[in-house]
Amino acid sequence: MMDLSFMPVTLEFKRPFKIAAGTRSTTPVVFTNITFHGLVGYGEASMPPYLGEDHQTVMSFLNKAKKVIAHHKDPFDIEGILLEVDQIGNGNTAAKASVDIALHDLVGKIVGKPWHALWNLDKTKTPYTTYTIGIDDADVIRQKVEEGASYKILKVKLDGVNDKEIISTIRSVTGKPIAVDVNQGWNDKEVALEMLHWLKERNVLFVEQPMPKGDVESMRWLTAHSPLPTIADESCQRLVDVEKMKGVFHGINIKLMKCTGMLEAYKMITLARKNNLKVLIGCMSETSCAVSAAAQLTPLADWADIDGPLLIKQDYFEGVRFEEGKIVLSESAGIGVKRREALFK
């Protein structure tokens, strides 16, 4: 039989992390293990506030998922197991993702191959990850740019308040390409369009979720007129949302914590390509466990934003590496991670 176990942890950011929705200094995660014949698959749930999950909701869900996992005798029935886990209840996408990741890690270890190899992906075709800079005052922003000096692309959070000042501060110290994430912080489509033209002149690659997710028609108009690619984040959560994004955005940000994990993320990429949508692989505030799982998919992506482990004080896992920002996938089986045992004591 397979057995599911789990452990709650609170991660601390190296610096307070501010986006349009607020500021946080910590983030809750839950680590999962699925054991089978002496092998252990590792997983992780990370819960940003907007997903509506916390330690208690995740552990409550995983107690129910534990019974599902124990009932199944074949870990290779990934689709069947995860369908049953998904049907436990609506929502709980991070909790579901933690089961998905652990199950994929376990199966990869059973066959002795990493998932990028099982998907027949070319690991040399990984993109560069962005390095994230939250909303802050000018001195701190300049310091963060310096801290990310070895990364070729910056990811900048905006909120519709001091956007030009933030970008100008960065441009005063570097000309690196920038990806912009507004986190639904703009409300006027005409003002947003003016801002997109201004950003285009300052070597910005794309803009993520500029408008509130409920304002679909404004977003459709903005995308039709935008000089930059627009990428859906909060507007696109799961597979059922992908086709709705066509004509509303130019692409989608796929995060394991939103979509329930690797299985659905792979399906979302396939469907996005059929609908001529660009793909960004993102992450929440995660350790190298969940990020290494997401990294297995990055050879299929146009861009990646999986720098979560760089923003936290203690990374509980060793996993994916970055060489000047280039994602380097290992040949270790499963999702390619190893626990830092001292942190689990």
Rounded CA separation 311/53 (Å): 21
Calpha distance 272→111 (Å, rounded): 29
Among 102, 95, 31, which Cα is nearest to 57's?
Answer: 95
**Rounded distance, CA 112 to CA 1, Å?**
20
Residues 10, 86 within the same domain: yes
CATH number of the domain to which 161 belongs: 3.20.20.120
Strands of 178-181's sheet in order across: 130-133, 153-157, 178-181, 204-208, 230-232, 251-254, 278-282, 303-305
- What CATH number is given to the structural domain containing 103? 3.30.390.10
**N residues, the chain:** 345
- Confidence (pLDDT) at 23: 78
DSSP state of 76: T
Identify the pLDDT of residue 126: 98
Q: What are phi and psi of 7, to 5 degrees?
A: -145, 125
In a shared domain, residues 169 and 262: yes
> 289 with 197, same domain?
yes
Residue that terminates a domain, selected from 89, 112, 135: 112
Q: What is the pLDDT of residue 20?
A: 63
Cβ neighbours around 183 below 10 Å, total: 21
pTM summary value = 0.96
Do residue 173 and residue 84 come from a single domain? no
pLDDT along the chain (345 residues), means of 10: 96 80 86 98 92 94 98 96 97 97 98 98 97 91 94 94 96 97 95 98 98 97 98 97 98 98 98 98 96 98 96 95 96 97 92
DSSP β-bridge partners for residue 195 = none
Show which of 94, 112, 130 is a domain's final residue: 112
Question: What pLDDT score was predicted for residue 21?
Answer: 64
Q: Are residues 90 and 193 in the same domain?
A: no
**Domain boundary, last residue among 62, 89, 112:** 112
From residue 268, alpha-carbon distances to 95, 200, 241 in Å are 19, 28, 9
3-state secondary structure of 63: helix
45: domain range?
3-112
Identify which of 12, 84, 31, 74 has the alpha carbon closest to the alpha carbon of residue 289. 31
Note whether 241 and 303 are same-domain residues. yes
> What does the alpha-carbon distance between residue 245 and residue 230 come to, in Å, rounded to a whole number?
11
Q: What pLDDT is attached to residue 152? A: 96
Q: Are residues 199 and 223 in the same domain?
A: yes
Give me the number of domains the chain comprises.
2
CB-facing half-sphere around the CA of 288: CA atoms within 13 A: 20
Same domain for 60 and 132?
Answer: no
